[in-house]
Amino acid sequence: MSKSRRSVRFQHRPSDGRRPSVSDVSDAASDPGSPSRNGPVAQPATIPEEKPDAEYQKKRQTFITRTIWTFVMIAGFFIAMFSGHIYIIGIVTAIQIVSFKEVIAIANVPSKEKNIRFTKSLNWYFLGTSMYFLYGESVIYYFKHILLVDRVLLPLATHHRFISFTLWIMGFVFFVASLQKGHYRFQFTQFAWTHMALYLIVVQAHFVMNNILEGMIWFFLPASLVITNDIFAYVCGITFGRTQLIQLSPKKTVEGFVGAWFCTIIFGYFMTNILMRYKYFICPVNDLGSNVLTGLECEPNPVFVPQPFEIPDWTGFGRTFYLAPMQLHILLFATFASLVAPFGGFFASGLKRSFKIKDFGESIPGHGGITDRMDCQFIMGFFAYMYFHSFIAVYKASVGDIIETAITGLTIDEQMEVVRGLSKYLYNQGTLSESVLDHLSTELLRR
């Protein structure tokens, strides 16, 4: 909030009989048309004071609105996170749809002026097609043990990519058929703009959703690192900032950039130590109906299990200490959030400057558009997904993988033989009763 000026007259103060302040007297003395210093002092005009007062009230109201909505978003986020993974997935879905709408709207205005039909409809069609493909890929990957045993969903799962390709081709053909003479350049620009928005927003949001399914920590930790870095960049910038960092964001300073890096590393280390203690955060999703009260159960990923690390005796500090590998990985997460993810914000700033706009929209009162808040989050979530699957994920056969192999790689007779062999094994282990085994064997022989 900006500080109020001494000469600003607030509305609750009466204008008649007001005692002139020192600044009022000095302003009157400096006025060429004012009386002498010993003469009567004229009352200052009220019209010039209305502008700064209105500007101050506007900034004050903006700050109040921004603060209220900040707490509303924080509260909503934590309520959704503890209510279950499906609610966070819903929030991510809503964010990517609104962000796509905001980015597309920037370049969509000329289409109305040129009276070009179907431009907006095609944008939403390609969005729906992309979401169908990406969400379908995630659902099939994480829940194939459910989809592949359902008679209705099995064809959709096995032919998902071809169906998605067919849907995109239909949109492509319709776009070519809708080209209008004299507007080719503009329409192809719109086509490229739409697909750029799909790549930068929808595709990256898809990987954020995958992070949620791998475990809440892979979503919450990267998101909190970006927010923490943004806060400390502001604090360190106004405290120590002297050197401008980049022309796209004149208020960003080198001192704030580096100071936020160290603060984010410290925050990430301690936050990781807290989150690692709860299975609700570190376990992958096996039940979309779970929440913080029901919890999740799993065998923790080795990255969360403390491992012995030895310092050689020849260093003079020879000792053995235990440290979870995640406490080392978080250093790289925090570094990326501090030194690379902000360039997503710089990219967004450059994009807004190229279109001469202040914000992407007004979706969040006092904050601007959703895209203004998510510009760094998308690229951070993308990094978290790639890093997790490259250095942390443990790959082993799952029930879904076995079922998929049996369905796609074996004949019906071979599948029945597998069932027969598994039933005998389970009977020998005491899991199946003899009556169930006999009934199952009878049914298999009948077929």
Query: Are 100 and 193 in the same domain?
Result: yes
pLDDT of residue 282: 93
Instruction: Give the Cβ contact number of residue 239 at 10 Å.
Output: 10
Average pLDDT, integer, range 47-51? 51
pLDDT of residue 63: 78
The backbone region for 321, taken as left when phi is positive above 0, alpha when psi lies in -120 to 50, beta otherwise, is beta
Query: Are 189 and 98 in the same domain?
Result: yes
Average pLDDT, integer, range 200-208? 91
Comparing C-alpha atoms, which of 267, 246, 254, 251 is closest to residue 346? Answer: 246
Please give the structure tokens belonging to residue 214: 């791998």
Query: Are 420 and 353 in the same domain?
Result: no
Residue 309, phi then psi, degrees to nearest 5: -125, 130
Average pLDDT, integer, range 147-162? 84
Query: Do the domain assignments include residue 8?
Result: no
Give the integer Cα–Cα distance in Å for 317 and 229: 33
> Is the pLDDT reported for residue 170 higher than 70?
yes
CA 63 to chain centre: 24
**Residue that is last in its domain, among 369, 392, 415:** 392
> Is the pLDDT reported for residue 317 higher than 80?
no
Total number of domains constituting the chain:
2
Give the integer Cα–Cα distance in Å for 235 and 81: 28
**Residue that is last in its domain, among 370, 392, 414:** 392
Query: Are 246 and 341 in the same domain?
Result: yes
Comparing C-alpha atoms, which of 48, 110, 134, 127 is closest to residue 385? Answer: 134
> Is the pLDDT reported for residue 143 higher than 90?
no
Name the amino acid, one letter, at 335. T
Please give the structure tokens belonging to residue 422: 């598994």
Query: Do the domain assignments include residue 255?
Result: yes
The model's pLDDT over 17-33, given as tens digits with 9 standing for 90+, comes to 444 443 443 344 444 44
The backbone region for 17, taken as left when phi is positive above 0, alpha when psi lies in -120 to 50, beta otherwise, is left
What is the value of pTM for the model shown? Answer: 0.75
In terms of pLDDT, which residue wins out, 78 or 432? Answer: 78
Listed ranges 109-118, 135-144, 195-204; the one with the highest mean pLDDT: 195-204
pLDDT of residue 340: 93
Query: Are 305 and 407 in the same domain?
Result: no
Query: Do the domain assignments include residue 232?
Result: yes
Average pLDDT across the chain, whole number: 81
Residue whose tokens read 């005796």: 313
Give the integer Cα–Cα distance in Å for 91 and 209: 10
Give the integer Cα–Cα distance in Å for 149 and 406: 11
**Residue that is last in its domain, among 349, 365, 392:** 392
In terms of pLDDT, which residue wins out, 49 or 419? Answer: 419
Query: Are 405 and 371 in the same domain?
Result: no
Query: Are 229 and 267 in the same domain?
Result: yes
**CA separation (Å) from 74 to 54, 66, 70, 79, 223?**
30, 12, 6, 9, 12
Burial (0-12, 13-18, 19+ Cβ within 10 Å), 291: middle
Average pLDDT, integer, range 281-300? 86
**CA separation (Å) from 262 to 228, 252, 331?**
11, 16, 10
Give the integer Cα–Cα distance in Å for 20 and 223: 52
pLDDT of residue 110: 56
pLDDT of residue 113: 53
Give the integer Cα–Cα distance in Å for 336 and 383: 8
Query: Do the domain assignments include residue 42?
Result: no
The model's pLDDT over 82-124, given as tens digits with 9 standing for 90+, comes to 888 999 999 999 999 999 998 888 876 555 556 677 888 899 9
**CA separation (Å) from 289 to 143, 286, 294, 296?**
14, 9, 9, 10
pLDDT of residue 3: 42
Query: Are 414 and 306 in the same domain?
Result: no
Residue 31, phi then psi, degrees to nearest 5: -80, 125
Query: Are 259 and 365 in the same domain?
Result: yes
Average pLDDT, integer, range 207-220? 93
Residue 388, phi then psi, degrees to nearest 5: -60, -50
> Is the pLDDT reported for residue 76 higher than 90?
no
Query: Do the domain assignments include residue 388?
Result: yes
Query: Are 70 and 197 in the same domain?
Result: yes
Average pLDDT, integer, range 277-303? 87
Query: Do the domain assignments include residue 132?
Result: no
Query: Are 318 and 339 in the same domain?
Result: yes
CA 421 to chain centre: 47
Query: Do the domain assignments include residue 103?
Result: yes
Query: Do the domain assignments include residue 137?
Result: no
Show the domain range for 239.
Answer: 55-116+180-392
Please give the structure tokens belonging to residue 149: 């045993």
What SS3 class is residue 250? Answer: strand
Give the integer Cα–Cα distance in Å for 410 and 32: 98
Ranking 9-23, 64-78, 262-276 by mean pLDDT, the lowest is 9-23
Query: Are 434 and 333 in the same domain?
Result: no
